[in-house]
Amino acid sequence: MRMLERAGLAVMHRMEPETAHDWAIWALERGLVPLPAKMRSPRLKTRLGRLELENPLGLAAGFDKNARALPALMQAGFGFVEVGATTPRPQPGNPRPRLFRLPEDRAVINRFGFNNEGEEAMEARLKGRPRGGVLGLNLGANKDSQDRIPDYVSVLQTCGRHVDFVTINVSSPNTEQLRDLQGKKALWALVSEVMQARAELPLDARPLVFLKIAPDLKAQSLADIAEVATVSSLDGVIATNTTIGREGLGSRHRGETGGLSGAPLFTRSTAVLAQLHELTGGKLPLIGVGGIASAEDAFAKITAGADALQIYSALVYEGLSLVPRILEGLDRKLKEAGLGSVAEARGQEAHLWARRFED
């Protein structure tokens, strides 16, 4: 499989990045992509709130924006899959080109701008979702909405009963003024409305609610988020989204606007994760995202405070075979450390990583 995958990646890397991505979704949707064997180990079984995961490694939102390839992705070895972001009304997003590979930096820059088919199309697909896996939906707001809080509520009301968790995305840098919703007052209002909307769903159809934050937050802003998350009874935080930072990049596309993801994000996102773990006393479930491309990266995120993980950008360079490679290596590292579970490793190095957090 690895040889076939490498050949496929080589062909796709000759295409314009977004075209290659569209082809990947098309092929997955039709069952044309060989899927890796699932990695199973009792050490990898993980709890995320009330959710039981076969393993801690999830697929981040943004890869399958419209839930077109769910059957394949939920059989690809991930512990959970997140689709979206979804907005109430369909929108085309920002003009192309809006996706750039930075191979020298093992990174990606995107400025998609929440391009998606809208909540009605998403609901239709989620109704027929495969059973047996853990599925999440990233909630977004339309670019031209004057008041964005009702947008998040609308997507939750329409689609929430069909998924296991939803994510309030206030951290994409590609929708103007969206990150303003991370301010304490605005965030409290948003979270309160979303939690109220969830409470109005049938008891057996209420998804967990996570919040996805940016890596570019200052210390006080992160402290405010920790307070809101704790007081509002959010079910967890995803740390982090893409960054607007560009320090140390060498690729020719380094000057493109948009959110940077991949290897350069690893240190900053992990420091934010650890700081949040410290601020919440380790009591709030956390999902670590940003720059994971190996078992070593995955283990570092867990010891920094993550209960579970998500990847995306590394798949651009490594393909789906990366999933079992990370999990096999993670299982081996847990065994070598004498640990029986991911939970036992969680947060062991959080205080060290938190020292790297700076305004």
Residues designated catalytic: 172
Residue listed under structure tokens 């929440």:
114
Start-to-end CA distance of the chain, whole Å, equals 44
